[in-house]
Amino acid sequence: MYNIAVLPGDGIGPEVIREGIKVLIRVGEKFGHKFSFQEASIGGHALDTAGKPLPEKTLELCKNSDAVLLGAVGGPQWDNNPPDLKPEKGLLGIRKELGLFANLRPATLYSSLIQASSLKHELLDGVDILVIRELTGGLYFGSPRGFHQKDGEQVAVNTLSYSESEVRRIAKVAFEAARKRKRKVCSVDKANVLETSQLWRRVVTDVGKSYPDVELSHMYVDNCAMQLIRNPKQFDVIVTENMFGDILSDEAAMLTGSIGMLPSASLGGKVGLYEPVHGSAPDIAGQGKANPIAAIASVAMMLKYSFNLEQEAQSISEAIEEALRQGYRTADIFSSDGKLVKTSEMGDLIAKNI
């Protein structure tokens, strides 16, 4: 029995997570596994029901589960909340509390979706990138932070800070991952300007000496943003700090046709957290337009990384590929030669293909 904490969250989160669970139940039937699901609130939903973005009850459930499956957080109705009462605080909080310092975001182009990308086909064929984002340091967590008055006007401050140990542990994750792939690591920083990036580069270089079988390169973040569009096939594993990784992985997602295709795994502590990279998309919530593939692919990552069920994870990837090969598309990846389906229909099709 695998015990999974389910945090549907806000916007389209509940819709896509519902399809992920549907596929996971089908995997259990096929391979003889049992999954137990316990639901809790986070983000805006938690603010409305419990008065805080990460209730203690939610955190306790997650700590006592085998894995966490999360939808999305946020929405315009909470935009004017004070900083400590914003939905995103729940997401940042759970990452910190569970010690999830390594965020793995694979950007793999399904062959059937090559038409959905805005780039030329010859640039995309064979793209398979793993972005490894440091998740508990940098600007999102640095102190001091906040607002204050200076010379009669309001000033906002965020602090970018990294320690050697934080960089070393995420670099090791990247090199170990590369050993199972094409043995190439590109470390992305802004070492020509930022002291934190200079430390980052020195430490990653030092860690790389223990992995002589892995090719290490360094790239400035602005150049990397350009190279992802110019020549994405040059990349295997990209490792970078928190904010750079947030931005670059969303850019990499569009190589695959839609941000609705990109899953993620947050690892480092005892309990892993799995979530689609896309946001809560409140403008399409409840309309059956959301793409559940990122959530379903996140379930596959859960099977692989938390439960060591490689064959079961592969069956989900193959089921997604088959649904796309058959021409089924949600609105974000739809073209005139496809078959438009709703969120739940795509989940049904993928589950059927297991």
Per-residue pLDDT of the chain (354 residues; tens, 9 = 90+): 999 999 999 999 999 999 999 999 999 999 999 999 999 999 999 999 999 999 999 999 999 999 999 999 999 999 999 989 999 999 999 999 999 999 999 988 887 887 777 778 888 888 899 999 999 999 999 999 999 999 999 999 999 999 999 999 999 999 999 999 999 999 999 999 999 999 999 999 999 999 999 999 999 999 999 999 999 999 999 999 999 999 999 898 888 878 889 999 999 999 999 999 999 999 999 999 999 999 999 999 999 999 999 999 999 999 999 999 999 999 998 987 889 999 999 999 999 999
Catalytic residue among 125, 206, 222, 283: 222
DSSP-derived secondary structure letter, 53: S
Q: What is the CATH number of the domain that holds 333?
A: 3.40.718.10
The predicted model scores a pTM of 0.91
Q: Can you tell me which residue has the tokens 């938690």?
A: 46
Number of residues assigned to the chain = 354
Per-residue pLDDT at 117: 73
Do 249 and 264 fall into the same domain? Answer: no
Terminal-to-terminal C-alpha distance of the chain: 20
107 located within any domain: no
222 is catalytic: yes
Provide the number of structural domains found in the chain: 2
Q: Can you tell me which residue has the tokens 């309001």?
A: 154
**305 neighbors 272 (Cβ within 8 angstroms):** yes
**15 neighbors 346 (Cβ within 8 angstroms):** no
Planar angle of CA 170, 70, 284, nearest 5 degrees:
120
Do 214 and 147 fall into the same domain? Answer: yes
Nearest residue to 267 (alpha-carbon basis) of 152, 154, 172, 155: 172
The domain boundary, picked from 255, 277, 304, lies at: 255
Catalytic residue among 110, 140, 211, 328: 140
Nearest-angstrom CA–CA distance, 124 and 255: 7
Catalytic residue among 22, 184, 220, 250: 250
Catalytic residue among 189, 236, 246, 332: 246
Taking residue 33's Cβ as centre, other Cβ atoms within 10 Å add up to: 16
Residue 277: beta bridge partners?
none
The domain boundary, picked from 224, 255, 286, lies at: 255
Nearest-angstrom CA–CA distance, 201 and 219: 10
Q: Which two tokens stand for residue 328?
A: 């089924």
Q: Which domain holds residue 293?
A: 1-100+259-354
Catalytic residue among 89, 190, 289, 304: 190
89 is catalytic: no
Per-residue pLDDT at 54: 98
Phi/psi at 272 (nearest 5 deg)?
-85, 150
Nearest residue to 134 (alpha-carbon basis) of 86, 209, 204: 204
190 is catalytic: yes
**243 neighbors 189 (Cβ within 8 angstroms):** no
246 is catalytic: yes
**255 neighbors 127 (Cβ within 8 angstroms):** yes
**265 neighbors 297 (Cβ within 8 angstroms):** no
66 is catalytic: no
